[in-house]
Chain A
Amino acid sequence: MNASDLHHLSAAYALDAVDTDEREAFEEHLASCEVCRADVAGFQSASATLGASLAMAPAPSLRAEVLAKISATRQDAPVTGPSVVSLDAVRKRRRVAWTAGLAGAAAAAVAAVISISALDRGPSTDPFAVDLATVMEQSDSEVLDLAVQGDAPGEFRVAWSNSLGRAVLIGENLPPAPDGKAYELWLITPDESMAMYVLDPAEDGDVHVSLDAPAAPSAWAITVEPAEGSATATGEIIFVSNVTA
């Protein structure tokens, strides 16, 4: 079975609708195919919801039998090593989905460049549009939506390229910061948190920022800080997401 056939098995695999040989072949493929891993995670979550619709309590006597069995069962040793970082599949799936969205945004940005160009203002008038398109063109570009903490309004996506050392941030529906406060963007590595920008949303709540990314991020975060900005994060974290390894 070739790789293209295997790619198309991800949905059937997630439904356990493949035979044993195919399951083994697909799992081998899965180890090296990030696209299929993301597909399977999404499909398995959907199939698990199908399963949840069947919920039915078993006979009460089963509980004691199960508990007696587990008492007599030794557990597997945990997997050791650096790969135990837990990152939930939801973010991974979102990352895939939002890549498409941002590619659309990049196309729109390119269109904006073209229309600006048509006004004889030159194609590089809007550095954000150019940066967005440039970041997205890189083979190592990554896109992440920042997970909201609590009930803060607004949405953020960040795209960056480690090889290029540039990042772009797109925010939407962000209300003005509270009086005397400002939003601040942080690039976080395992060693340090870097204060990147004080964000100042436009009247319509949009934020478009392009910036240098001096280190490979392991997380991005947005906090509420004093209006003049802060070199150290003191305020509430309102958005944060880890970067998958």
Chain B
Amino acid sequence: MIVLDNVSRIQRTDSGTIPLLTEASEYFGRHERVGILAAPGTGKSSVARLLSGIEKPDSGHVYREGKTSWPIGFAGGFHPELTGAQNIRFLSELVGQDPLEAIAFCTEFADLGDSLSKKNKTFSSVERAMLAYSFSLSVPCDMYIADEVIGVGDTDMRLRCSAILDQRLENAGLIFLSKNPAQLQKHCSRFLLLIESKLVPCYDLNEGVEALMASNERAQLTQSNSASKRGTS
């Protein structure tokens, strides 16, 4: 279970601060699959980090009950100089997973048997993604967070990703942040819209997409307006 209570998050840029999330309150249950639709570059990853507990909000509280995953498929923790097995072992110990169980899970699911003894830097990008994906699902969690990545690899691989994710979600919740309404529709049953730093309910994803596009146009209009004003003055 994750509860957002009046949560705000800003981003600092060279030209000042921009709000990514403003006073958001929401309840995410343990047996829910919630999709959050957002336009590119509007703070999906920041919201994912807030939900995962990696970052703290600027104001408000994020309450978490049980274990929350890191964004599924995150590969940043894998050191290029370590082998696949070494990486899984160290990261397992960090998150409280039995290393042997994790290695067995990844070997079976991702079909990486031989590659686990290779150094991470010699992996192909698909292998690397598979390893990161299967490792994130090897850890039983109560809430899974997905930041755009919900499956990896080719069509066949993606089917297996979906199957294993479904298995995990029998006993856990999902929050999936994406710009892709079709993907959200496929994996989620309740939807939210991240629009102009607000988190609002969304009952129809097509309308959600239109709302995002309209908001984007308004933003561009304001931008070009202020740019032309600067040009004339």
Q: Do A and B bind each other?
A: no
